[in-house]
Structure formats: structure tokens, C-alpha cells
Amino acid sequence: MDKQILQRDEPVLCTLHSNDANSQAANLVNWQQEYDQLSQGQFFGLINELHFPHIHLFREDTSHRLRQQCRVEQGGLWLGFSANNKHCRINNEQTNNNQFLCRPGGRDFELLTPDNFSIYGLVLHRSFFNELSEQNKEARYNSNNDGLWLDNIPPADLQKLRQYLNLLLQPNGNRWSNSTHASILQDAMIELLSKGNLSPVTYVTSRQRQRIIARVQEYLSKSRMKSPITVTEICSAIHVSRRTLQYTFNQHYGISPKQYIQVIRLNQVRRALLDNQEFDTISNIAFNYGFFHLSYFSQCYKHLFGETPQQTRLHKNN
């Protein structure tokens, strides 16, 4: 039976419990699926989900081994990866816990999941691809590709995404607006699809790179750097493709645009910590410069400066 497509302008975290595999399958909207319980005992399932305008995000926890027959809406795309470092099988192919599983809408696929399995899932609706700007058309997934996962996705990228999705699916886990998170999540999906597709890079001359870098630096004002910025936003503002921007920054700075933004923000945090007029907490300063995960921020800060934020603040007071 087809299920009604549910979309909300203002995402609300929804938690659904079930004690039956069939009920668990029915709790995911926008899907056609059946679950068969394969291991013995009382089943328990949990779904935490958010519906953004173009993306359905969820984490699904299941207590028992399952055979899942699945299909998402025509024109959409399902992406999934392990949330608790366990393996599953997709269409009888063994996966590892750092693979980004991928199936286009309108196609049946089978998941065999183990006991006590957790998975993050993202359904990109048809509207996600319809809304792609000209700068991001290169990220469109080729629905004729019959691969079961996206290749070329570094495990470190998936770990960062795990941390972010975990934050999103926590009640009162952050202070950013829903529209901001929708933009960040959409940008993350575009980047993953771009990496997975690995389309050829257009050659950019030295003069073109200089112009692009100058326009990016003009756009990244100090006040703008205090709020979340996506690569999609930058591409739209300076009218270049995502891949061209990536190539330009790799050639000019030896790092990606996202890494560049992070380095600039870390330096801004350091200046704030060293400012004798700044008495805010370290966590508030980090958040004000776009860092939502404090332990990850501290790790990046120490990696760049060779000391922790607390040590930097001590230097200021000495």
C-alpha cells in the first residue's frame, strides 16, 4: 500500500516506538516496505525522525535480525549508513560500517540487518533534485547507476556526518534555526553526491582562480563568518560550480573550501579567546563562530594551534 508523503515547513522531532516488525515498517512514511523478523524474541523498534522540506532524516533502531524489502518514492533517493558500527547486507552484498548505501527511488531493494542494529537514513525527495541550482547540477545522482553505495566517501566525512545527525535528532540539541539546518543538511548531501559521482573537473586558469578567491574573501565577511555558511551558498553568491570552487581552493590553498572556512573560524575563535574584553564561555564563543560540536571543535583547535582552547585562555590571563 502506498503511504502518504509527509512534508513539513517547520521540522518537528518525532519519536516512534513499536513492538512489532510490521509496525516498525509502517512507521516510516514515504516508503513501501515489509519487514520479516528473523531472530527469536520480543521485537522492539525505535525511529527518531525529522522532515525537512526536501529531505526526510531518520535514525532507526531495531532489536532483532530483519529482512527488509524496501522502496522509496519515484524520483527520490535513499542514502543510509550504520549508526552503531555494525554491518548489514544490501541486495545480498556485504557492506562495511563506513559505506554510504544508496538506492534510487522506484526500485525494490533488500536489507538484511543484524540484531541490535542502528542506521541513519536520508530520503532526498524528488523536489531536492528539482531545486538544485545551476551551480550544483553536477551533484545530480545518476538513477541509471545500479551501484549499491557511493564510492570515494572518506570515513572521516561519515564520522562528521554521524556527529551532526546525532545532534539534529536530539531534543533541544542546538540553537540554530530549522532553516539553517535544512541548508546545512542539503549542502552536506550535495557534497557527498559530488564526491561519489567524481565528475571531471573543468580547468581553471591562474587568473580565474585569483578572481574566484577574491570574490569568496569579499563574501566571507567577519559578521557572515559568525553564522553557518554552506558551500552551496558561496557557489550561488559568486556564480561558480561547486567543483570549480573545490578545484580553485585545492590549487590556491591546498585545502577544500570547507576546510578554509573552518581554519578562518578557528583563528577568529583564538582571537576572541585572547581578547582581554572577551569573558564569554569557550563553548559560547565556539558556537558563535559556527562550531556546534564542542569536542570536535576542541580537537580541531588543538590540531591547528598545538594547544587546547583552555590553554589559550590561560595564556591570556597570564
| The pLDDT of residue 22 | 86
Question: For 129-164, how does the pLDDT look when each residue is reduced to its tens digit (9 = 90+)?
Answer: 988 876 676 667 777 677 899 888 888 888 989 999
Q: What is the pTM assigned to this prediction?
A: 0.78
| The pLDDT of residue 277 | 65
Mean pLDDT of 253-271: 89
List, as one string, the DSSP characters of the chain.
-PPPP---SS---EEEEESSHHHHHHTSTTEEEEEEE-S-S---EEEEEEE-SSEEEEEEEESS-EEEEEEEPTT-EEEEEESSS---EETTEE--TT-EEEEETT--EEEEE-SSEEEEEEEE-HHHHHT--GGGGGG---TT---SEESS--HHHHHHHHHHHHHHTSTT---S-HHHHHHHHHHHHHHHHHHHH-PPPPP--HHHHHHHHHHHHHHS-TTGGGS---HHHHHHHHT--HHHHHHHHHHHTSS-HHHHHHHHHHHHHHHHHH-TT--S-HHHHHHHTT---HHHHHHHHHHHHSS-HHHHHHHHH-
Mean pLDDT of 111-118: 96
| The pLDDT of residue 125 | 94
Which among 9-13, 57-61, 210-214, 304-308 has the top mean pLDDT? Answer: 57-61
